[in-house]
Amino acid sequence: MDTTTEKSTVTESEGSCESVFFAEHQTTSLTHKFGNPKDILRPLVDGLRGEYDYIFLDTAPNLTVPTVAAYKAADYFLLSAIPEPLAIEGLNDALADIATVRDQGNPSLRLIGVVLSAIKGRNTRIQRELIAYVQETFDKGPDPYIKSYSTLIAETTYICESQKLGKTMFQLYPTHKVTDQFRELAHELEARLNALEGIGDLAPVESHVNIEEVING
């Protein structure tokens, strides 16, 4: 988040209050005022920890300065992958980025799994290859916390429509099947975070449900 001014909106959905902060591209002024912009988010996030249950930093897939700043401020790292030609390469790059940031100021940064999103109704070759790669690279390892989530997010144009309107799926389409998938994913993620924090046990990750079941509900 390379910004000196923040515009916030507070939304209420699913019975909770959420603050959303948008960034303006002012990296030059950040460097002038605060020194290394890669370190700018850590004190800001630390100052907000007592006000929120969870703080999510949505980053670009490439290692830009704002992305590095987010990695250095975070406790956990959640990967998202969609079936595109460069998806596997992107996951490999992300793993390398995690290692880099661990060496450059945040040694405790921990991967907490992979979310498979924009799953198509037709099981394409690229989609099969991505799922197979995730299962081989993340699901078969000894660390249960890096496994992919059993909830898959189906492809829908409603997500892009919501983004254009600056709203969430919960606000615009609360009963949509993909909104329900996000709810299920949120429960899975919270259970995994609680287990890492010593609150409860980590339930075994189930095998991925059938693709047709994800698409058709």
Which pLDDT score is estimated for 204? 62
Sign of CA dihedral 28, 32, 37, 43: negative
Q: Is residue 1 part of a domain?
A: no
Report whether pLDDT(205) > 60. no
What are the helix (H) ranges across 35-176?
Answer: 41-48, 65-73, 87-103, 125-134, 157-164, 169-172
The answer as to whether 2 is a domain residue is no
pTM of the model: 0.78
Spatial distance between the Cα atoms of 176 and 157, rounded to a whole number of angstroms: 12
Q: Is the pLDDT of residue 32 over 60?
A: no
The answer as to whether 156 is a domain residue is yes
Question: Which DSSP helix (H) or strand (E) runs through 8?
Answer: strand 7-13
Judged against a pLDDT cut of 60, whether residue 51 lies above it is answered with yes
* pLDDT, position 73: 93
Query: Structurally, how many domains does the chain consist of?
Result: 1
Residue 3, pLDDT score = 38
* CATH code: domain of residue 174: 3.40.50.300
Tell me which residue of 40, 42, 39, 36 sits closest to 55, measured CA to CA: 42
The pLDDT confidence band at residue 33, using thresholds 50, 70 and 90, is low
Q: Residue 212's pLDDT is what?
A: 47
181 domain residue, yes or no: yes
Residue 163 scores a pLDDT above 50: yes
pLDDT over 90, % of the chain = 56
Domain contains 46: yes
Question: What residue numbers bound the domain in which 57 lies?
Answer: 7-216
Give pLDDT, residue 19: 64
Q: Would you say residue 57 lies in a domain?
A: yes
**Above 80 in pLDDT, residue 134?**
yes
Residue 119 domain-assigned (yes or no): yes
Residue 119 · residue 155 · CB < 8 Å = yes
- Whether the CB-CB separation of 37 and 2 falls below 8 Å is answered with yes
pLDDT at 215 over 70: no
